[in-house]
Amino acid sequence: ILAKVALVKGERSCETVEKVIELAGGLREFVGKPILIKVNFITTKSWNTGATTDPIVVEGLIKCLKTVNDRVAVVESDATMTNADKAYRMTGMNVVCEKYGVPFVNLRHVREKVKVRVAEPETLPELTLPKMVMDSYVISAAKLKTHVDTQVSLGLKNMFGLLPDKFKAKYHLKNIEKVVVDINIVVKPSFTIIDGFVGMEGEGPVNGDPVRMNVVIAGRDPVATDSVAAQVMGFD
């Protein structure tokens, strides 16, 4: 069965986001357990730099999800150089969350964690993750951008931020591309949406140049969704 990936080119708006979600199959079956929207806060830079998830994408997701499930949260964890709580405010994501009564959770500070074995691991035989991650639907709300180590940073790479450790640089020593595979084996995102209203090229994921693309890409199959996004960027 071929995976369905939706791509919508349009102005930066909730309507564009809602359209791509519907074309990708919608979110109506996301019931029965909580939903975590995993954003990209690798830095405190705003969405128009191409570095972080656009709040309008999260707003579109929340509007669609709230019609079927009230248990929605936005999540991220601290990065080596970034405090996620600070990024939450400085990127303007707090405005959207407060508008809809959606909490933000810094996964680094979640106390209840579980150890999960990785089936046929690439490099990590076991992962320690917040229990709430394992008990929820996870939506990867990623950014369309380049990455100096992994070439692109899209839906699969965005899941790296589920690891609650602050000093994530240690994982780069274990081959970051293999680490990303292991995370997605353990926690396959239920839905992936890639924010390309403004993407990034060059020295990503933080110091590249912003590129206005006016595109949003979404799908249920994370590999297929990333594949389409990579093609849009000009990569194999």
DSSP-derived letter for residue 140 is E
Q: For a pLDDT cut of 90, what percent of the chain falls above it? A: 94
**pLDDT at residue 173 greater than cutoff 90:** no
Confidence (pLDDT) at 197: 98
Write out the E strands in 91-190.
104-106, 113-117, 126-130, 137-147, 151-153
pLDDT interval class at 12 (50, 70, 90): very high
pLDDT of residue 1: 80
Pair of tokens at residue 82: 């970034």
pLDDT, residue 110, reads 98
Tokens at 28, concatenated: 């109506």
Per-residue pLDDT reduced to its tens digit, 178-201: 999 999 999 999 999 999 999 999
Conformational region of residue 233, where left means phi above 0, alpha means psi within -120 to 50, and beta covers everything else? alpha
- Residue 172 pLDDT: 83
Instruction: Give the pLDDT confidence of 103-135 residue by residue, as tens digits.
Output: 999 999 999 999 999 999 999 999 999 999 999
Q: Contact 75/39 with Cβ under 8 angstroms?
A: yes
72-76/35-38 β-pairing: parallel
pLDDT in tens, 139-172: 999 999 999 999 999 999 999 999 999 988 888 8
In terms of pTM, does the model score above 0.95?
Answer: yes
Tell me, what's the pLDDT at 203?
93
Task: State the average pLDDT for the chain.
Answer: 97
- DSSP one-letter string for 166-228: S-THHHHTTTHHHHHHHHHHHS--SEEEEEEEEEEESSTTTSSEEEEEEEEEEES-HHHHHHH
Residue 19: pLDDT over 90 = yes
Question: Of how many residues is the chain composed?
Answer: 236
CB 20 within 8 A of CB 54: no
Confidence of residue 43 (pLDDT cuts 50, 70, 90): very high
Q: Which whole-number Å values give the CA distances from 123 to 117, 127, 160, 161, 178, in the listed order?
A: 12, 11, 14, 17, 6
